[in-house]
Structure 1
C-alpha cells in the first residue's frame, strides 16, 4: 500500500468522447440550467411579491424552487465546464463536497415533497380545518425538519467516505460525483459504506415516500366521494402537478440508488441521473405554472408590472 500512488483527483468521463457532441450537449444543458434558474427564481419572486400566494401551499413551493436551484447548481456547472474542457477532472475533496451537498439537497427535496403531500391531504380531506391545522409555525417547523433530515442524510453518507483511500483507477464513468462513483475506485473496504448507502436510501425513501403514498390514498378516496364531475376535477387539479413531480423524481432516483449493484446499466444510470438532477429542477416550475391558475395569474400580473 505504501508503494502505491495515492489518487488526489478523479477524471470524469462525462457523457461523450466526441468534441462536437460535447459542444451540442453543452448548449443544451446550458439552456436547461438557465431555464432552471429563471423558472425557479421567478416562482420564488412571484410568491414573495403576491400577497394572495402567501399560503402554506405556495410557501412550500417556494422552498421547493429554492432547493431545485441549489441541487441543480451542485452538479450542472461542473458538468458544463467538463463538456468543453480538455482536462475533465475533479479533486477528491471536491468530489466528496459535491456528494455532500447533492445528497443534502436531494434529501431536503424528498421531504419537502412529503410535506406538500400532507398539505394537499389537509386541504382536500379537512378543508374546514385547514387554516387551523396548517399554521405558519407548523409550516416553518415542517420545512426546517426537511432541511435537517437532508443535512443528516448527507452527513451520514459523506463522513464514512473521508476514511477511504484511492490508489487504483481514478476514472469515473459519469458526469458528476455520486456516492456509488468513488466506492468503485477505492482500495479500502467498502462494505460499511454500501451498508450505509443502502440503509439510508431505504430509510429516506420509506420515511419520505410513505407519507406521500398514505396522503394520496386518502386524497383519491376523498375525491372519488365528490359527486359532481366539476368538483372532482377541481380537487384533482390542486394536487395533480405535485403528483407528476413526485412520480418523475422518485422513479429515476429509486432506479439509481436502490437497484442491485450487480445490475450494471451505465447508460440508464446516466439517463436516470440526468432526469432527477438536471431535468426535474427545470420541469418543476413549468409543471406547477401550467397546472395552477393562481400561479398563471400572478405571473401575468408580475410581467405586466415589469413592462409598465
Structure 2
C-alpha cells in the first residue's frame, strides 16, 4: 500500500522473504520426527525435500546476487538507478532466479534418485540432503550427480564473484563520500545484505564440503540448521 516501498530493493526483499518457504519444507517433518516411532520419511517425500530444498537454495543465491547488483547501481550510479533497475529488469532478474533454482532442483533430484539404495536406509541427517543420500547409496557411478554438483559449484562461485566485485565498487564509492552521515546511510542499506551473504554460504560450505560421517556430530547438525533456517531433529529413515 505504501508507494515508498515500490522500489527494486523492496521488490527483491519480497522475493527473498518468500524464499523462506524453505523452512516449511523441513521443519514440520522434523517436528514430527520428534514423536515416538515416527522417524521415517516416504520415498516420494524424500524426493520432494531434495527437489524443493535445492530449488529454494539456488533461488536464494540468485536473489542475493541480484540484490548486490541493485545496491551497486544505487550507490555507484544513483542518477541511472531508475533506468537500470526498472520494473522490467527487476522482474526478469527475479524470474531468472526462480527458474534457475527450479532447474538445479530438478537436476539434483533426478540425479540423486536415479541411484540405487540397497543397503541401510538410515539417513544420517534430520532431512533428506544430497551428501547423506549418497552416503547410503550402493551405486558406484555418480556421473549425473558429479555433473550437477560441478555446475552448482561453478554457478555459486560465479554469484560470489559478482557479489564481491559489486561490494568492491560500493566500498570504493562510499569511501569517497565526503560526509560521515552520507557514508553511514550508504552502508546501512548494505550491511544487512552483506551479513546474509556471508552467513549463508559460510555455514553451507562448513556443513557440506567435508565427508559425511556415519553418525553426524551435534556441530554438523547445528550448521545444517543454520544453513536451512530450521530446527534440530533426529535423523530419520527412508521408507521403500
TM-score of the superposed pair, with normalisation by structure 2? 0.90
In the alignment, which of 55, 67, 74 is matched to residue 116 of structure 1?
67
Residue pairs, 1:141-290, within 5 angstroms: 141-257=92-208, 259-261=209-211, 266-267=216-217, 268-278=219-229
Q: Is this contact kept in 1: 2:108–2:145, CA < 8 A?
A: no
Q: How far did 1:252 drift?
A: 0.8
Q: How far did 1:269 drift?
A: 2.4
Distance 1:241 1:183, change over 3 A: same
Q: Is this contact kept in 2: 1:107–1:204, CA < 8 A?
A: no
Distance 1:265 1:238, change over 3 A: farther
Q: Is this contact kept in 1: 2:46–2:128, CA < 8 A?
A: yes
Distance 1:222 1:238, change over 3 A: same
Aligned partner of 1:128 in structure 2 is 79
Q: How far did 1:191 drift?
A: 3.1
Distance 1:66 1:85, change over 3 A: farther
State the structure with bigger RCO (CA 8 A, min sep 6), 1 or 2.
2
State the secondary structure of the residue aligned to 1:188: coil
| Structure 2: 5+ residue stretches without partners | 232-240
Q: How far did 1:135 drift?
A: 0.6
Distance (Å, rounded) in 1 between the aligned partners of 2:66 and 2:175: 23
RMSD of aligned Cα (Å): 1.9
Aligned partner of 1:64 in structure 2 is 16
State the secondary structure of the residue aligned to 1:163: coil
Q: How far did 1:97 drift?
A: 1.2
Where in structure 1 do 4 or more consecutive aligned residues deviate above 6 Å? Answer: 262-265
Q: Is this contact kept in 1: 2:33–2:40, CA < 8 A?
A: yes
Q: Is this contact kept in 2: 1:71–1:105, CA < 8 A?
A: yes
Q: How far did 1:210 drift?
A: 1.5
Post-superposition Cα deviations, 1:207-249, rounded to whole Å, max 9, x if no partner, equal 2211111111110111111121111111100111111111111
